[in-house]
Amino acid sequence: MTPLERYVAEEIATDHVDGLLTRREALRRLGLLGMGAAAAGALIASCANTRSGTPPASSPVSSPAPLTEPPGMATARPTEPITWAGPRGPLMGGWAAAEDPRGAVLVIHENKGLNDWVRSVAGRLAGIGYSALAIDLLSEEGGTGTFTDPAAATAALAPIDPQRFVADLRSGLDELQTRAPGQKLAVVGFCFGGGLVWRLLAAGEPRLAAAVPFYGPLPDRPRLRRVEEHRGSGVLRLARQSCDVDGTRSPGCAGQGGGGQRVGHRARR
Q: Quick one: 121 and 186 in the same domain?
A: yes
Does residue 164 have a pLDDT over 80? yes
What pLDDT does 248 receive?
33
What pLDDT does 65 receive?
59
CA distances in angstroms from 157 to 139, 144, 161, 192, 225, listed in the order given = 11, 10, 9, 9, 27
Residue 269, in any domain of the structure: no
Q: What CATH number has the domain bearing residue 98?
A: 3.40.50.1820
Residue 220, in any domain of the structure: yes
Q: Quick one: 153 and 229 in the same domain?
A: yes
Q: Quick one: 33 and 80 in the same domain?
A: no
205-228 pLDDT per residue, tens: 999 999 999 888 887 777 776 555
Q: Quick one: 78 and 39 in the same domain?
A: no
Residue 64, in any domain of the structure: no
Q: Quick one: 99 and 211 in the same domain?
A: yes
Where does a domain end: 14, 33, 49? 49
Does residue 230 have a pLDDT over 70? no
Q: What is the mean pLDDT of the chain?
A: 82
Q: Residue 257 in contact with residue 218, Cβ under 8 Å?
A: yes
Q: Quick one: 10 and 110 in the same domain?
A: no
Which of residues 247 and 230 earns the better pLDDT score? 230
Residue 253, in any domain of the structure: no
What pLDDT does 11 receive?
92
- pLDDT band at residue 34 under the 50/70/90 scheme: very high
Q: Quick one: 95 and 44 in the same domain?
A: no
- pLDDT band at residue 253 under the 50/70/90 scheme: very low
Q: Quick one: 97 and 174 in the same domain?
A: yes
Q: Quick one: 175 and 86 in the same domain?
A: yes
- pLDDT band at residue 247 under the 50/70/90 scheme: very low
Q: What is the arithmetic mean of pLDDT over 265-269?
A: 39
Q: Report angle CA 156, 159, 165 to the nearest 5 degrees.
A: 90
What pLDDT does 225 receive?
61
**From CA 143, how far away is CA 90, in angstroms rounded?**
10
Q: Quick one: 191 and 123 in the same domain?
A: yes
Name, in order, each residue with C-beta under 8 angstroms of 97's C-beta and a sequence gap of 6 or more. 77, 126, 131, 179, 180
Task: Count the domains in the chain.
Answer: 2
46-101 pLDDT per residue, tens: 999 876 555 544 545 555 556 678 889 999 999 999 999 999 999 999 999 999 99
Record the pTM. 0.81
Residue 142, in any domain of the structure: yes
For 28, the domain range is 3-49
Does residue 176 have a pLDDT over 50? yes
5-29 pLDDT per residue, tens: 888 999 999 999 999 999 999 999 9
**From CA 238, how far away is CA 226, in angstroms rounded?**
6
Q: What is the arithmetic mean of pLDDT over 97-108?
A: 97
